A and B are shown apart, each in its own frame.
Chain A
């Protein structure tokens, strides 16, 4: 049963972060401080898949490490399932996959999972069954007796995922779960996340790959330079600004010349042309008349890199404006 907050008839959010900041001391005698996270406040609702988006060094991993008490906040608080992150018992209901996980390489996958399961107080028989089930789920059943030092990066990622969900946690926190995986591995991780969602679990995962977020997330939070830039659906946050249309086509008669062709770039046998949305139907008519075979028509969306760069540029412009007005 979902717990309700005292004030409103709303279920308690799975994760609540209030004004969380983190400074790292550096320099002589650690007198200087670098702020890597600034007054982060956000909530992840129970049962949703929440994507934490941002470029490298934006503060995603810092936030997750703070939630997992691997590092300690300079100010602010956070609660998971209503319990303060300082309360160790909250970890009974949390699963965590670190970024680029590395485990005891002298253990086999079975031994590793059994080791972690012991911290959840599971009985021997239950542990054995869960370990076997998880190994099957992440596709490591045939490699369960091999020491982890012989595992590939992808296999380690799967072992990491297995230990994160071994104890049926209500909240699963995954730091860059797709990083270093081949397309098949990424697909499998995506399927596991969707399965967790179907089971009603809350998933928070960080990524800098937009397509993953678009495919999986109910909501995303975008963080740049340690500051949260907004929370919303993936469409609201990134995909709203269509930059135009792109048509991919092939030509039967190659000698034929027409205006659109002059704007197109040729790759192999195919032509690609980008144009404003208003000109789309005119261009399609022209191509049809020229006997072109249209292969695809797609919206041009900003890449995540462009999206982040826009945010960074906006920050700089705002800082400059403040500086000028101050002069």
Chain B
């Protein structure tokens, strides 16, 4: 695991030096603007609006980083050939892949934590003191992070066998399909043949169910997140993410570099 940790640390350092965390400035400005504006236009539901806006921003910014940087994690190294000297060291290819993955998840964790702190500051400006229900926000942020970790794994898998552009398209496509996986599963249409419905249900089970990680509605209205759901989602993300990463490692282990 020493090699994995070494690659992960360097990936985190790369993200910091390439100014990936600068998005936090944008988030801070958004939250400040929202806090000022919401105070003036929404009476009585300021905190709910701030929480919805903040969590949506954390999710969208995170998805943007997870997809675009996730795809570049491996493809950039292959394009620029920075990988050559590294793979000539006593490093297994899967160790490199896992290290890159861990490095970006670390970056996303720091980024998400900083944005969550910013969200609490914005919330505090419209409502203080904070109430007990406001701490449910942390559960929502945690689930967003799990979702992002899964997206990074998918982005990495696609970048191992196709071009960066197609990898971005595939990852975003799977994400959008994954958001509607639940609907696909429960869809009841009279026009559709039973075999098509069966196939769609099958596909819905293969797709990552990203809606599982969405508790934004509940949290913004002060409702808690059951511990069982957190446990289920954590197990799901670990299992699904591991399968995707193993597939990525298998593809990458036999890939000829340019």
Contact = CB atoms under 8 A, between A and B. Distances in A.
Interface of A: 65, 68-72, 88-89, 91-92, 94-98, 100-104, 106-107, 115-116, 118-121, 160, 163-164, 173
Contacts of A95: 88
28 contacts: A65-B257, A70-B87, A70-B256, A71-B257, A72-B256, A88-B92, A91-B88, A91-B90, A92-B90, A96-B84, A98-B81, A98-B88, A101-B81, A102-B81, A102-B82, A104-B10, A104-B14, A106-B14, A106-B17, A106-B18, A115-B6, A115-B10, A116-B86, A118-B2, A119-B3, A119-B91, A163-B85, A164-B85
Given A70-B88, A72-B254, A104-B14, 11 more contacts: A69-B87, A71-B257, A88-B91, A91-B89, A96-B88, A98-B88, A101-B81, A102-B80, A103-B82, A104-B10, A119-B89
Contacts of B257: 65, 70-71
A115 B12 CA distance: 13
B82 to A, nearest CB: 6
B256 A71 contact: yes
A116 B90 CA distance: 10
A120 B89 contact: yes
B161 to A, nearest CB: 13
A106 B90 contact: no
Contacts of B18: 106
Contacts of B85: 96-98, 101, 103, 116, 160, 163-164
B6 A118 contact: yes
A107 B18 CA distance: 11
B17 to A, nearest CB: 4
Interface of B: 2-3, 6, 10, 13-14, 17-18, 80-92, 254, 256-257
Contact of A119 (B6, B14, B83): B6
B82 A119 contact: no
Contacts of A98: 81, 84-85, 88
A88 B90 contact: yes
B125 to A, nearest CB: 36
A173 to B, nearest CB: 8
Contact of B84 (A68, A88, A106): A68
Contact of B2 (A72, A97, A121): A121
B5 to A, nearest CB: 9
A88 B84 CA distance: 14
Rank and list the top 6 A-B pairs by shortest CB-CB distance, nearest first: A96-B88, A98-B84, A119-B89, A106-B17, A71-B256, A91-B90
Nearest to B79: A102
Given A65-B257, A119-B3, A89 B90 contact: yes
A74 B14 CA distance: 36
A95 to B, nearest CB: 8
Which of B88, B90, B256 has its CB near the most chain A CB atoms (within 10 A)? B88
Which of B13, B86, B90, B92 has its CB near the most chain A CB atoms (within 10 A)? B90
Nearest to B90: A91
- The DSSP consensus for interface residues of chain B is helix
Contacts of A96: 84-85, 88
B87 A68 contact: yes
A65 B81 CA distance: 12
A107 B2 CA distance: 20
B10 to A, nearest CB: 6
A92 B90 CA distance: 6
A116 B89 contact: yes
B168 to A, nearest CB: 23
B100 to A, nearest CB: 12
A206 to B, nearest CB: 14
A118 B90 CA distance: 10
B88 A68 contact: yes
B82 A104 contact: yes
Contacts of B14: 104, 106
Nearest to A72: B256
B72 to A, nearest CB: 13
A46 B83 CA distance: 28
Contacts of B10: 104, 115
Contacts of B90: 88-89, 91-92, 119-120
Nearest to A69: B87
A68 B256 CA distance: 11
A160 to B, nearest CB: 7
Nearest to A97: B85
Nearest to A98: B84
Contacts of A92: 90
Contacts of B86: 116, 119
Nearest to A91: B90
Contacts of B6: 115, 118-119
Contacts of B88: 68, 70, 91, 94-96, 98, 173
Nearest to A163: B85
Contacts of A104: 10, 14, 82
Contacts of B3: 119
Contacts of A163: 85
A116 B89 CA distance: 8
Contacts of A116: 85-86, 89
A18 to B, nearest CB: 20
A74 B92 CA distance: 21
B76 to A, nearest CB: 10
